[in-house]
Structure 1
Amino acid sequence: MSPRRRTATAVGILFVAQMVTAIVGTTLIQAYVDGNPDRTRMTLGVALMMCSGIAVVGIGLLMYPVLRSVDRRLAVWYPILRILEFAVSAACGIYLLARSEVVPNHLLWVYIPTAAGGLVLTYVLFESRLVPRPIALLGLVGYACLGLGVPLDLMGVLDMGAGPGQVLLVPGGLFEAVALPAWLIAKGFQTPPAGVLPAPASGRGAEVAPSYSPDRIQP
C-alpha cells in the first residue's frame, strides 16, 4: 500500500471516529444539561469530545500535504481551522468540568471553524477531483448549511439542535460519516487531471509551470 493510499485510509477512519465520539460525547453531555446529575457520565462525554477533537486535528495534519499538492495557499488554512475547532471544543469541555455548566451556545462556537475548515477542504477536493465531484459537492452543501445555520440559530430563527433546524446538519453528517470515509477507505484519492497544477507561489512560478506539460517533453 502506497503512503498516499495509507493516508486516505487513515483519514477515512478518523472521520468516522470523530463523528462517533462526537455524537456519543454530545449525548452524554446533553443528558447532564437536561438534569441527569451523574458527573461520571458527563466527564466521559467531555473525554469523548476531546478524543473527537484529537481525531479532527489528525485529519487536518494528514490532509495538509494532500491539499498542498493542489493549492498551497488554501491548504494551510485547513489544519489551522481544525486545530482551532479542537481548541474551542476543549475550552468548552474544561469550562463544563470546572463550572458544572455548559458554555452558552457551545456547539455553535465549535461549528464556526468546522464550517470554515470544511469549506476549504471540500472546495479543494471539488476543484482537484481527488474524490468524485458529487461527494465533494455534498460536503460543500453540508458545510455551507452549517455555516448558515449558526447565525440563524444565534438570532433565534431556528434551533439546530431540534426540529427543522436539524435538517441543516444532514448533508454534512452524510459527507463526514458516510460518503467521504467510505470512498477514501475503499478507493483512496483519485489522481487529479493533468490540468490541475499546484497554485504558483509567485508571479514567476506562473510562467514556469506550463513548461512541465507532458506534451512539451522531447524524446
Structure 2
Amino acid sequence: MNFTRKTALITGVLFIITIVFSIPGALLYGPLLNDPNYILGPGADTQVALGAFLEIVVAAANIGTAVVLFPILRRQSEGIALGYVASRIVESTIIAVGILSVLSVVTLRQDFAAGPGADAAPLLAAGHALVALHGSTFLLGPGLLAGFGNGLLLGYLMYRSGLVPRPMALLGLIGGPLVFASGIAVLFGLYDQVSVWSGIFTVPEFLWEASLGIYLIVKGFRASPLTAGMPDGVAPSGRRGAAG
C-alpha cells in the first residue's frame, strides 16, 4: 500500500470514528445534562465516564484527520492546510474542556453531595454552571469550529485539489458555513442549540463528513497533481507550484 492510499484509508477511518463515537458519547451524558438535580441524586457516573472516554477518542481522532492529511493538503495551500490543523486542535481542546466540566460534576457529586450535611444550594449552583459550560463548549467546538475547519477549509482544499469528487466537496463548502451561521444564531438567541433549525443546518455537514470518510476508505484519493510522483511509504516534502 503506497503512501497516498494509506493516508486516505487512515483519514477515512478517523472520520468514521469521529461520527460513530460522538453520537453515543453525547447520549451517554443524558442523565447528567438533563437532570438539574443530578449532583444531589444517585447519579449514573459510570455511564457519564464512558461518554467522556468516547469523547476523548473523538477529540484525538479530530486532530488525527488534520495531521494525517497535512503532508498532502500542504501541496495545495500550506497556509490553509495549517489553518485546518489549527482549527482541529482548537476544536479538540474545547471538547476537552467540556469533558472536564462533566467529570467535575461527577466528582462533586461523589465527594461532597453524598456526604452528610452537604449544603444543596452551592452544589446545585456549581452543577448548573458546569453543565452550562459544557453546552458552550459543544456550541463552539463541534459547532462553530467544526463548520469553519472541517467544512469550509477542508471542503475548499478538497474541491480545489480534486482529491475527491467535487460535488462531494461542495457539501463541505455549503455545510460548513451553514453550521457556522447556525452556531452564531444560537449564540445570539435566535433559536435553541437543540432545535429543528439547528438539526436542519447540520445535515449537509454531517453528510460531508460521512461521505468523505466512506469514500476515502473504499476508493482512496482520486488522481491529482497533488499526489503525482509521491514515493511509496514516505511523506512528500515539496509543494505544488500553483498553490490555491
TM-score by structure 1 length? 0.84
8 A Cα contact 1:142 1:170, kept in partner: yes
| Alpha-carbon shift at residue 145 of structure 1 (Å) | 0.9
Alignment correspondent of 1:60: 66
Task: Give, in whole Å, the separation in 1 of the partners of 2:220 and 2:25.
Answer: 29
Retained in 1: the 8 A contact 2:76–2:161? yes
1:131-150 CA distance string (max 9 Å, x none)? 10011001111111110011
Aligned partners of 2:76 and 2:242 also within 8 Å: no
CA deviation string 1:39-80 (max 9, x = no partner): 111111111111100001110100111111111121111111
- Paired residue for 1:127? 160
Q: 1:134 to 1:31 in 2, by over 3 A?
A: farther
- Give 1:160 deviation, angstroms: 3.8
- Using the alignment, how far apart are the partners of 2:94 and 2:44 within structure 1? 24
Structure 1 position 163, deviation (Å): 1.9
Output aligned runs, 1:10-89, within 5 Å.
Answer: 10-35=10-35, 37-89=43-95
Residue 8 of structure 1 corresponds to which residue in structure 2?
8
Deviation at 1:193, TM superposition (A): 5.4
Q: Give the share of equivalent positions with the same residue, in percent.
A: 31
- The answer (yes or no) to whether the contact 1:72–1:198 under 8 Å persists in 2 is no
Residue type matched to 1:146 in 2?
V
Q: Number of residue pairs matched?
A: 199
Q: CA RMSD in A?
A: 2.0
Gaps of 5+ in 1: 202-219
2-structure distance, mates of 1:86, 1:199: 32
| Aligned equivalents of 1:73, 1:165: Cα separation in 2 | 31
> 1:76 is paired with a residue of what secondary structure?
helix
Give the match for residue 180 of structure 1: 212
Q: Give the C-alpha shift of residue 200 in structure 1.
A: 6.2
- Aligned partner of 1:108 among 126, 139, 153: 139
Question: Which shows bigger deviation, 32-41 or 50-59?
Answer: 32-41
For residue 189 of structure 1, give the secondary structure of its aligned residue in structure 2.
Answer: coil
Q: Supply the distance in 2 between the matched residues of 1:184 and 1:125 (Cα, whole angstroms).
A: 12
Q: Distance in 2 between matches of 1:40 and 1:68?
A: 42
* Structure with bigger RCO (C-alpha 8 Å, 6+ apart): 2
Cα distance in 2 for partners of 1:9, 1:16 equals 11
Q: Give distance in 2, aligned partners of 1:184 and 1:161.
A: 31
The TM-score normalised by the length of structure 2 is: 0.76
Alignment match of 2:177 (pick from 124, 144, 153): 144
